[in-house]
C-alpha cells in the first residue's frame, strides 16, 4: 500500500514538474536572462575600471572563464531535469506524509486529506522560509556568503516543518476537548507565533545591489511563487483524485462482503 502511494506520488510529482517547467519557461526565464545581462554589465564595468587602474590593480578574468554549461542548456534540459527531479522527490515525500496522515485527520477522505496536506506543505516548506529568505536571481548575493545563506534557508525550512508537525499533533490532542475547528485555530496560532520567533532570531540577509532592477527581482520572485503554487496544487488535487479513485473499488468490495 505504501509502495503504491509512493510510486503514485512520484508520478504525480513528475506531472507537476512538467507543468512547472512550462510555466517557468514562459514566466521565469525572461527575468533570469535580464538578471544575467545585468550581471554581465556589472562585470564589464568592473573589468573596464580595473583595466584603467581606476579601482584596483587586480585584473578580473570573467570574460576569459570557460562556460561549463551553456545558457540554452541551462534554460532547456537543465531546467527540465532539475524541476522534474525536485518535484518527483517532493511528490514521494508527500505520498509518505499522506500515508501517515490519512485516517488520522477525522473523517476526511483521500481528496480532502491530500488537499489539506498540500496546503500545509506549501506554507511550511515554501511560504515561511521564503518570507524570511526570498528567492533571488543571478547577480544577487555575494559568492562568499552562499554557504551561510544556504544553511540559514534550510534551517528555516527544517524549523518550519518541525513546527508544522508539532502543531498538527497539538491540534489532534486538543480536538476532543475544544472541537476540531477551535483546535485547528489554536494549532495555527501556535505555529505562526513559533515562526515569528524563529524569524526574529535568525539573522536577516539583504545582498540585493542598490542598482539591481526592482521589476526583474519582482518578476523572478513571482515566477518562483507561481511554480511552487502549481507544484503543490497538482500534488494536492491530482494525488487526492487518483487515490480516491483507487480506493473506490476496495470500498465497494468491502461493502459487498459485509452485506
For the stretch 44-56, pLDDT in tens is 766 666 666 554 4
The DSSP annotation for 9-59 comes to HHHHHHHHHHHHHHHHHHHTHHHHHHHHHHHHHHHHHHHHHHHTTSS-SPP
Q: Where are the alpha helices (DSSP H) in the chain?
A: 2-27, 29-51, 71-73, 79-101, 110-121, 128-132, 146-178, 180-201, 214-234, 240-258
Q: What angle do CA 126, 124, 79 make, to 5 degrees?
A: 25
Distance in angstroms (rounded) separating the CA atoms of residues 87 and 158: 18
Taking residues 34-60, report their average pLDDT: 65
> Please, what is the average pLDDT of the chain?
86
C-alpha cell belonging to residue 256: 459487498
C-alpha cell belonging to residue 42: 556589472
- Residue 103's region, left for phi above 0, alpha for psi from -120 to 50, else beta, is left
- Judged against a pLDDT cut of 90, whether residue 182 lies above it is answered with yes
Q: Tell me the backbone φ, ψ of residue 167, rounded to 5 degrees.
A: -70, -30
pLDDT digit string, tens, across residues 83-129: 999 999 999 999 999 999 887 777 788 999 999 999 999 999 999 99
Report yes or no: 220 and 32 within 8 Å, Cβ to Cβ: yes
- Judged against a pLDDT cut of 80, whether residue 69 lies above it is answered with no
pLDDT at 250: 61
Of 45-59, 147-161, 221-235, the range with the lowest mean pLDDT is 45-59
Nearest to 118 by CA among 71, 60, 164: 164
Taking residues 213-241, report their average pLDDT: 95
Distance in angstroms (rounded) separating the CA atoms of residues 204 and 149: 10
- Judged against a pLDDT cut of 60, whether residue 258 lies above it is answered with no
C-alpha cell belonging to residue 240: 487526492
* Interhelix angle 214-234/2-27, nearest 10 degrees: 150
- Judged against a pLDDT cut of 90, whether residue 175 lies above it is answered with no
The three-class DSSP label of residue 154 is helix
Distance in angstroms (rounded) separating the CA atoms of residues 137 and 142: 12
- Judged against a pLDDT cut of 70, whether residue 142 lies above it is answered with yes
Radius of gyration in angstroms for the set of CA atoms belonging to the chain, rounded to a whole number: 23
Distance in angstroms (rounded) separating the CA atoms of residues 71 and 74: 5
Distance in angstroms (rounded) separating the CA atoms of residues 238 and 248: 16
Out of 74-88, 132-146, 245-259, the most confident range is 74-88
pTM of the predicted structure, to 2 decimals: 0.84
C-alpha cell belonging to residue 49: 575600471
- Judged against a pLDDT cut of 80, whether residue 241 lies above it is answered with yes
Amino acid at each position: 500500500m505504501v509502495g503504491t502511494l509512493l510510486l503514485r506520488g512520484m508520478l504525480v510529482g513528475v506531472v507537476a514538474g512538467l507543468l512547472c517547467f512550462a510555466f517557468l519557461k514562459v514566466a521565469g526565464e525572461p527575468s533570469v536572462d535580464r538578471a544575467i545581462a545585468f550581471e554581465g554589465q556589472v562585470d564589464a564595468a568592473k573589468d573596464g575600471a580595473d583595466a584603467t587602474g581606476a579601482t584596483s590593480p587586480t585584473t578580473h578574468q570573467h570574460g576569459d572563464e570557460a562556460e561549463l554549461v551553456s545558457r540554452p542548456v541551462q534554460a532547456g534540459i537543465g531546467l527540465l531535469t532539475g524541476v522534474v527531479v525536485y518535484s518527483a522527490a517532493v511528490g514521494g515525500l508527500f505520498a509518505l506524509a499522506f500515508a501517515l496522515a490519512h485516517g488520522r485527520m477525522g473523517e476526511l477522505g483521500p481528496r480532502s486529506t491530500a488537499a489539506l496536506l498540500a496546503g500545509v506543505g506549501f506554507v511550511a516548506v515554501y511560504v515561511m522560509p521564503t518570507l524570511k529568505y526570498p528567492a533571488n536571481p543571478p547577480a544577487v548575493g555575494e559568492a562568499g556568503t552562499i554557504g551561510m545563506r544556504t544553511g540559514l534557508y534550510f534551517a528555516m525550512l527544517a524549523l518550519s516543518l518541525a513546527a508544522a508537525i508539532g502543531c498538527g499533533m497539538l491540534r489532534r490532542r486538543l480536538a476532543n476537548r475544544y472541537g476540531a475547528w477551535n483546535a485547528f485555530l489554536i494549532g495555527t496560532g501556535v505555529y505562526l507565533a513559533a515562526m515569528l520567533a524563529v524569524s526574529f532570531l535568525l539573522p536577516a540577509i539583504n545582498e540585493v545591489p542598490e542598482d539591481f532592477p526592482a521589476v526583474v527581482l519582482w518578476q523572478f520572485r513571482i515566477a518562483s511563487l507561481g511554480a511552487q503554487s502549481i507544484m503543490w496544487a497538482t500534488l494536492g488535487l491530482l494525488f487526492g483524485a487518483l487515490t480516491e479513485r483507487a480506493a473506490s473499488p476496495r470500498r465497494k468490495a468491502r461493502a459487498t462482503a459485509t452485506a
